[in-house]
Amino acid sequence: MSLYTKQEWFSNIKGDTLSGIVVALALIPEAIAFSIIAGVDPKVGLYASFCIAVIIAFTGGRPGMISAATGAMALLMVTLVREHGLEYLLAATLLTGVLQIIAGYLKLADLMRFVSRSVVTGFVNALAILIFMAQLPELTDVTWHVYAMTLAGLGIIYLFPYLPVIGKSIPSPLVCIVVLTAVYMISGMDIRSVGDMGELPDTLPVFLWPSVPLTLETLWIILPYAMMLTVVGLLESMMTATIVDDLTDTPSNKNRECKGQGIANIGAGLMGGMAGCAMIGQSVINIKSGGRTRLSALIAGVVLLMLVVFLSDLVSQIPMAALVAVMIMVSIGTFSWESIRDLKKHPLSTNIVMLATVAVTVSTHNLAIGVFVGVLLAALFFANKVGNILYIGSREIEAGKEREYQVVGQVFFASSERFTAAFDLKESIEKVTIDLSRAHFWDVTAVQALDRVVIKFRREGTEVELVGLSEASATVVDRYAVHNDPEAVEKLMGGH
């Protein structure tokens, strides 16, 4: 796949142009809202969204996916901005980009296979909840006007598409913003608007190097933030890429996407924008609107900047209530409602993984920690499940003299205790044969458990003979590359 194949850019010009415009219109309220979450001027998020969307169009590995300033990333920046200011955020954004490029070269995207489906669902649900919670400050301690406006906005967003003809050709979030802005400007009601939240872009973005001292001290301040931003940015991007893969039934290059995200973040940092990543909601809107190639992301970025720079007076008049309505829509659209229904159907361990991911994320406001806990839990549950696949039977060969134990299944850290307990040391006997030819010893814990059993038998004066140990312990070797060799797999799984 070369960078400029015609197919990746121009195979769907009409669809991509229109969807790009729809996405741009939806990106504006999101970029402003996420800037507010991060505690920076709206222009930081808008410049970021422009830079990231445009750069990722060229560098990304998943055509049709939309990246820009995101809520997941904004939530991680809050304390950095509050304690050290915008310049440190820009420096952290640059460092994030560098780390993501390194991750791409190290092919860390391949690690995504350890993130199970229930963790992904938990991530998505937590993200939706966090986006919704971030709107609450705009809805507390305000006059009834704000509630009325927000409800009207939601009404427009969800009912406008039912209108014949225009319903499906004009984006309803845009109608919501235009109508509410008009109402606000005409009525002159006393509610907050985007202009009250900080500076909007009045020029095209310009190149600027973050003015932070280039010292180790600076590095220690930004490094923890950059690492979290790297992880969360890549997680959300990889998950979104998978969603777009599924929707369009086409493959993507995940490691290239990692590098592309990194380059885009460096670009954003150098143009006065905050770090961002792929956006689940926007990517779904893009596909739904008919976007398929790289062109739609490029158009989304360019249209976004044009609108904001040339209409900045109007943009500053958008009431916050309109933004809140759009963000509630994004939250609703991001949440996986299917997962609530599936709670009854799925096994308890799966549900615990999903709910734990949500709970930890929502309480820490950090998706990386949530995913880490989710992956850890999923691994433990899996180890526990596989640990149950162990059967140890025995038969007397000669009464009071000889007994044969047969071990079938998986012996490793999670099942070694059960393995040890299965041998009857109380029995006074001369010889014991342990047949291991249908067992797999996966780790050193398993080998040590076997050693312990053998020693215990010997101390009771029982002679121990091991059968098939070499086959059983072949799996202890770490790089047990059998996956491409059907014969080896057959041999490994032969006992079952």
Partner 1 sequence: MTDQVLAAIDGSQFSEGICDYAAWASLAMSAPLTFVHVVDNHSEVPEEQNLSGNLRFGARERLMKELSELDEQRAKVNREQGKWMLEAAKARALEEGVSDPMTRQLNGTLVETLVELEKNMRLLVVG
Q: What is the DSSP letter of 414?
A: T
Long-range Cβ contact pairs of 133-139 (< 8 A, separation 24 or more):
133/362, 134/33, 134/37, 134/71, 134/75, 134/327, 135/33, 135/324, 135/327, 135/328, 135/331, 138/192, 138/320, 138/321, 138/323, 138/324, 139/324
Q: Among residues 101, 153, 446, 435, which one has the least CA distance to residue 320?
A: 153
Q: How far is the CB of 288 from partner 1 (least distance, A)?
A: 5
Please say whether the dihedral angle defined by the alpha carbons of residues 179, 183, 189 and 193, taken in this order, is positive or negative.
positive
Cβ proximity to partner 1: between 69 and 414 the closer is 69
Cβ proximity to partner 1: between 172 and 181 the closer is 172
Cβ proximity to partner 1: between 253 and 433 the closer is 253
How far apart are the C-alpha atoms of 473 and 446, rounded to whole Å? Answer: 9
How far apart are the C-alpha atoms of 44 and 129, rounded to whole Å? Answer: 24
Cβ proximity to partner 1: between 5 and 211 the closer is 5
Cβ proximity to partner 1: between 339 and 416 the closer is 339
Q: What is the DSSP letter of 66?
A: -
Q: How far is the CB of 440 from partner 1 (least distance, A)?
A: 36
Residues engaged in binding partner 1 (CB under 8 A) = 7, 11-12, 15, 18-19, 22-23, 25-26, 157-158, 160-161, 167-174, 243, 246-250, 280-281, 284-285, 287-290, 292-293, 329-330, 332-334, 336-338
3-class SS at 12? coil
Cβ proximity to partner 1: between 117 and 456 the closer is 117
The CA distances from residue 214 to 210, 218, 227, 228, 274, in Å, are 10, 7, 18, 21, 19
Q: How far is the CB of 2 from partner 1 (least distance, A)?
A: 14
Cβ proximity to partner 1: between 334 and 361 the closer is 334
Q: Kind and range of the H or E element at 491?
A: helix 486-493
| 316 touches 46 (CB < 8 A) | no
Q: How far is the CB of 145 from partner 1 (least distance, A)?
A: 23
| 21 touches 36 (CB < 8 A) | no
Q: How far is the CB of 28 from partner 1 (least distance, A)?
A: 12
Q: How far is the CB of 107 from partner 1 (least distance, A)?
A: 23
Q: How far is the CB of 252 from partner 1 (least distance, A)?
A: 14
